[in-house]
Amino acid sequence: MGIVSIQGNNIKIASNQAYSIDPPFKDFVISINEVTLTERMRVSSKDNVIWTYIGEQNSGYTLSLRAQDMELYILIHHKFELEAVPAVRLQNDNISVGIAYKPDLKRRLALEGLMDRIEQIGVAPQFVNKDVLKQELELPTGKEILIGKGIASTKGSDAWIETFFSDETFHRGVNENNGVVDFTSELVIPTVDKGTKIAVYHPSEPGEPGMNLKGNSIGSEPVKDIQIPFDPSVEFRSNVWYALIPGRPILVTNKNSYLLRIIAVYEHYGDATYEKGNIYFTGDITIHGDVHDGVHVEALGKVMVKGNVFKGSIIAAGSISITGTVLNTTLSAGKPSMLASMFYKELFQLNKSFETLIIAMQKFSEMANNKGYGYGTLLNILIQVKHKKFFEEVTEFLQKLDKVKTGLPEYIQILKIRLSAFMNEERIALQKDEGQMKGISIYLQTAVERVEALSTQPCDISFASASYSEIYTGGKIEVTGKGTIHCKVQTEQGIAYLIPSGKSHGDEIHIKGALYEA
């Protein structure tokens, strides 16, 4: 039997010698003469040494909840429940006490007992595949087996817009008499008529909630809806957009906002010459002829030239398409156009000037609060003394709007009316507070944001050939003819020379995309 042995819950010492015994670390305690062992003590055969198991009941299997309580696995080690058995060892004059787990042959694993244990850990029984569990009990594989799975939530669908138009300008080939097809001859601009159905709004649909193994509901992933700003050029009825004016449809996205509008198309027939003046338009511009020396063309949409451009400048928030040759000209499309756009610069600067004036007026009002002056009188004094150029900025901007061809967007029309009313000194003197100024500031900020958003539309540039010109675009460049010569080129999406004879000759090119030569 040995000097130290286990008899039931007793640890027996068969010797007159005393031995040291340490307190156990885990799952059981030892008491000596009914006092729990907490530190090393000396014991002998005269002492009553009792061990007591305090750990959790161990079984011949392991249950594992995973995937945020969505999956339950079982690993069966033995077909029987396990019994905790102490083990003692005498080394020198020290008694070491440990614990071992042995199969209890009187307690075979049973489906009912496993289901009770599964319920104890909080798993709802309806989620357990009892057929799989029973098969694993009968023929254990020694591997982890999935025996339960929760109900996953289903993902809904985000709101989206289905469009029925193309935003791409393209060239349609025209058969020449000699049988050659000239793909630069006819420029096709996608437009719609009044009343045309242009898009459909598909609302978001929420997903179905799920449930984990413990019966807790799992919410479905949130779906995204979209904001749809009002635009007077379209009618939104029963989730369908219809064109209220003829022109080119466009979808402008800004974060979670989707603006559908019809860009009016200004048709300029004949050459654009210095005598006829510069061309400013808030939509698309189509010039049926050449653009001559010194002419500045600026659009918040696309610019299409069915001819050549000589010593001019073309700035567009959208794409620029030229069927002919470009010589000693500046072309700027997309985001780069914002840096060159006089309209945008003046709008942006006027917005900043209004913000500055509002802040200055707040401070001036505080300083003169006790002198009996009305708000409007103080504002007139402040403008005349400290902000003399303010009226000049507003006047120049209004003159710029007067030069714009027909088709001003409604938000620009309202801004123009507000600014015109503000220019009257008598009306300024009648103002009681900063309400009117803040209202104009809001319209200015809205106009800046709308114009900036327009620069996110497709902004490619295409032409037959270019020489001694500066070309900037946030999109790609397509050269349909003999190439580029001594040009300064900056593009975000690459350059494509579409015919074998089209090449780059002595250009300064800054490119993020690929350079393709046929």
**CA 415, chain centre distance (Å):** 31
Q: Is residue 10 packed enough to be buried (19+ CB in 10 Å), middle (13-18) or exposed (0-12)?
A: exposed
Backbone angles phi, psi at 5, to 5 degrees: -145, 165
What number of helices (H) and strands (E) belong to the chain?
Answer: 9, 40
Pick the closest to residue 436 from 496, 376, 494 (CA basis): 376
Q: Which residue has the tokens 């779906």?
A: 223
Q: What pLDDT score was predicted for residue 13?
A: 85
pLDDT single digits (tens) 134-153: 998 888 888 999 999 999 99
- Which residues make Cβ contacts (< 8 Å) with residue 120, sequence separation at least 6? none
Q: What pLDDT score was predicted for residue 314?
A: 93
- CA-to-CA separations, 351 to 70, 240, 289, in angstroms, rounded: 55, 35, 36
Q: What is the pTM of this model?
A: 0.51
Q: What pLDDT score was predicted for residue 369?
A: 66
Q: What pLDDT score was predicted for residue 174?
A: 44
Q: What pLDDT score was predicted for residue 170?
A: 53
Q: Which residue has the tokens 């609302």?
A: 203
Question: How many angstroms separate the CA atoms of 80 and 41, rounded?
Answer: 37
CA torsion angle 122 140 84 128 (round to 10): 10
- Which residues make Cβ contacts (< 8 Å) with residue 115, sequence separation at least 6? 125, 128, 130
Q: Which residues of the chain have pLDDT under 50?
A: 1, 171-187
Contact call for residues 256 and 224 (beta carbons, < 8 A) = yes
pLDDT single digits (tens) 32-84: 998 988 888 898 888 998 988 887 766 678 889 998 899 999 988 777 777 77
